[in-house]
A = this chain, B = another copy of it.
């Protein structure tokens, strides 16, 4: 229990303590920890200049022992009233600070780890065929995205232009995307680098990965459909990827760990689960304030530990700030799908919004917000905050 005025059932109590980067007016950006509706200035509270920086990266690079030290010191500062006088002056109301991109993204990889999502897309795009490609159950499929266009929640997203060509069009045209979509995903932030040529086994997941954030992988389906054979998505994705401002440490997710779903066939040995790294994160997707989906992350076929083992099995090195995302989180029920193309089934069942409005894809001015929580101790919840963005017309 903290001496701060935070309700016991807050999703941002001392069992959570996610990290971000904030700026007060006229001040430089610094690392902070969220508690309740406040942010604790870590440089101010701990007197360590690793936090007096505009990104988490220097702290992330310090590794697990240090992450745990800082977490337990912050918990002590916030629970022992003896520290109150010293800590209160460096606690700022969230309403008065600006939240920035929490880390400098090194490489960004996006996976495709939801069986339901991959099956849904396979059914829509290859009707009559096998919905999953032959490799899907043998490896977590992934590809590199554009690190330089990862933006923090709240950044407006301009509708991208590009080439699109429907199957019946005689030739491609260029113009604003007409099939602008979202993908509700969960992101994993690498702290500790690895050496080139050396794989990271599934057992070492928590030594390298610091924490978890929410991701909206905005997707222009028409651009993507025309460009992606044979080398994969490019401009259909690279215009923007939004992340939540808070990175929840793995240490706050102990109560969220669950067994992953059964796999058939048995994965190759380098992908064997060593521990349960399924995570019972519950996402919620709102379109213009209206809940349109509740994707369950626990249903993901591949865990984040398996994704990391796969990403490095060829000897590719990790850097501090690497971000990898899960791919769209879609559960088995229709109201659990993590993208509009699935929710509206490519236009066959438009999404109904209050006031008689419907959507198949995003319109200019639409706002999408993804939130998430996970189980915490004693029936509480661990909050992830939100990742939100509004669509602007093509400039």
Contact = CB atoms under 8 A, between A and B. Distances in A.
Contact of A144 (B138, B146, B310): B146
A95 interface: no
Interface string A305-322: 000001101111111001
Given A231-B112, A233-B232, A314 B141 contact: no
Contact of A161 (B139, B148, B315, B394): B315
Contacts of A151: 196
B230 A228 contact: yes
A240 interface: yes
Main secondary structure on A side of the interface with B: loop
Contacts of A269: 174
A239 B316 contact: yes
A317 B149 contact: yes
Contacts of A315: 158, 160-161, 239-240, 394-395
Contacts of A171: 138, 265
Given A107-B147, A239-B314, A234 B142 contact: yes
Given A135-B226, A148-B106, A315-B161, A231 B265 contact: no
B232 A174 contact: no
Contacts of A161: 199, 313-315
Contacts of A163: 135, 138-139, 268, 313
Contacts of A133: 229-230
Contact of A395 (B197, B226, B238): B197
A233 to B, nearest CB: 6
Given A138-B163, A158-B197, A240-B196, A318 B148 contact: yes
Given A148-B106, A174-B313, A322-B148, A232 B235 contact: no
Interface string A126-138: 0000000101001
Interface in A25-55: none
A184 B165 CA distance: 32
A215 interface: no
A162 interface: yes
Given A196-B149, A268-B174, A223 B144 contact: no
20 contacts: A107-B146, A109-B234, A135-B229, A138-B163, A138-B172, A141-B231, A143-B231, A143-B234, A144-B146, A144-B238, A147-B147, A160-B314, A161-B199, A163-B313, A172-B268, A174-B268, A196-B240, A197-B395, A228-B231, A231-B233
Q: 6 smallest A-B Cβ distances: which pairs? A: A232-B232, A160-B314, A144-B144, A158-B197, A143-B231, A235-B314
